[in-house]
Structure 1
Amino acid sequence: MSTPNTHRSSHAADVTPVTTDPVCGMTVRPDGQHRLSYQGKIYLFCSGGCLAKFQVAPERYLPAASGTPPAPPPTPAQPITAASAYTCPMHPEVQQPGPGSCPDCGMALEPMGVAGLETRTDYTCPMHPEVVRSEPGTCPICGMVLEPRSVVIEEGNPELADMTRRFRVGLGVAVPVFVIAMLSDVAGLSSASLMRWMQPLQLALATPVVMWAGWPFFQRGWYSLVHRRLNMFTLIALGVGVAWIYSTIATLGPGLFPAALRDAHGNVPVYFEAAAVITVLVLLGQVIELKARSRTGAAIRGLISLAPKTARLLREDGAEEDIPLERLQIGDRLRIRPGEKVPVDGV
């Protein structure tokens, strides 16, 4: 039986690498750093964790050996193009054909390419750019004919909208939880009658904050445990979840705890405000991060919108024709008129 190794011989270098991670099935870039030569093939992996699993038991992740009926050939997968693939900003080797979360850090995957951006045509005056119309016409200031320009339509960020909504609702409910928790510690307000309803009220208010507003963190935390790649969301889900579960048990069944943990009124200290406040603070951080990433994407789309959409092709007979950039081929000759933008790179 061959032993997997990472030695790259001249023969192995000529072998076309398998661009699908045999452990998790994720598509990996051909130039990924996690690779392994085994039985004459080079296998690529999305991370060092999958590579280590394969080294321990490669036969577990490969088709059955000869002598057993071969498995039916898999359905050819659609190639992942830059326009349809999603990748992690922190781990670009992670790619998949749809949105999701990064298995390494838990961040939401972003579209790789910018192809297929929706555009609209506006008409503006070259002398007065503040004049913008949706239809052809003349400038009301100088009378010049308005010129067309392509504008990229801004796409909404559903994750940012979702996190913002969760943050606003969570903040509105977490503030009363925090105030109630502080009032319970104020001298003269910690009577038995007040404590009897303060803890159940905190439970009622903190539960939607933790279980609804913070639900994405529990999803990502569970995802990290399933893939054995612990990250920030593992700690958040564990800390918030333990605080809420402990406080719920302490509120509904204080008699389950020893007398040393109960106060003079027979109540056990709870930490609903900690669970709610941590959830809201993490949501705030996610909103700030997503807004920053959204502004970066908007700047890139703005630059792309400045690029020309057509090029003037110079044919062999001297005729000129405006064609889309997608139809250009290597060796085509273009004419760049004075004041025009250079549509492509070339010599």
Structure 2
Amino acid sequence: TGAAARRGILIKDAEMLEVAHRIDVVAFDKTGTLTEGRATLVAAEAADAGGTAGRRAVLAAGAALQAGSSHPLARAVLEAARREGVAPAGVATDARAVPGLGVAATVDGRALRLGSTRWMRESRVDIPPPLAERAARLEAEGRTVSWLAETRDGMAPALRGLLAFGDVVKPTARVAVDALRAQGVRTVLVSGDNAGAARAVARALGIDEVHAEVLPADKAALIEQLRADGRTVAMVGDGINDAPALAAADVGIAMSTGTDVAMHAAGITLMRGNPALVADAIDISRRTWAKIRQNLFWAFVYNVVGLPLAALGLLDPMIAGAAMAFSSVSVVANALLLRRWKGTGT
């Protein structure tokens, strides 16, 4: 583990180091794991009014809903509102976060909600075709689309507009996926984001399998499903929502740039938030396991050869003692070769 720690890979215990060499599926969260997690607002459009006025109205409502939140998308909305001089539409009360779906609150007597396409679909929000087409184009570009809706008099929520966000893929994300493929490891993207954005990232990185619009509770179930196929599964994530999936995996791998909850649930922590270190963690585990097998083999050979000779009186005690010492030295020396391990160098 010392060689791994020097590369920024903290392995919690020997069990994790042992299990990691068997990993043949790695499931990645998207935001903050494969992407930088620093979202920016790229579009804000009203459902019933175009131009600057519509954009400002949607942005003002979004800023009111997201005030006080530390979520990356909330920070993006608030930053855009400050940059454009848009004040929040009011003070949000009765605010509640719906895990994996969005946020709802009352703003100046208006019951507003801001969230995912899945939430709008489940809430039976009618999305006009022009706006649906616009959202599809944004998603195809890898954007995350959130919808603003308002509920009145117990009726189905009415759409008020959309907000679209962009995030940047980490430079080492492609290196990570390529390195895992070279190791014979299948990669899976598990994201709560829309299908278009998730597929765009997976396509750019060469990820084998995509699961989008996955709620936090469903992530753990998906990991269990992958394990049920007889595979050894690692989950890589950074957020509170990833903690159940990290705990459900054979090996949970957390980014140190994420939350303490995620790091507590994981068996391995990547101190630099670099996804390429996932392949390095598997590599050092496989090399360590190989060294253990080599050392057991040579120790067994020494004893198989030495014990019969000693029993027959053909081995001088001095030579036997020297051979035993040499056996120990060779085992230690072989293990110390791991100190030369450098990883991918990323």
Fold shared, TM-score > 0.5 on shorter chain: no
Tell which structure's C-alpha radius of gyration is larger. Answer: 1
Q: TM-score, normalised by structure 2?
A: 0.26
Task: Decide which structure has greater strand share.
Answer: 2
Task: Decide which structure has greater helix share.
Answer: 2
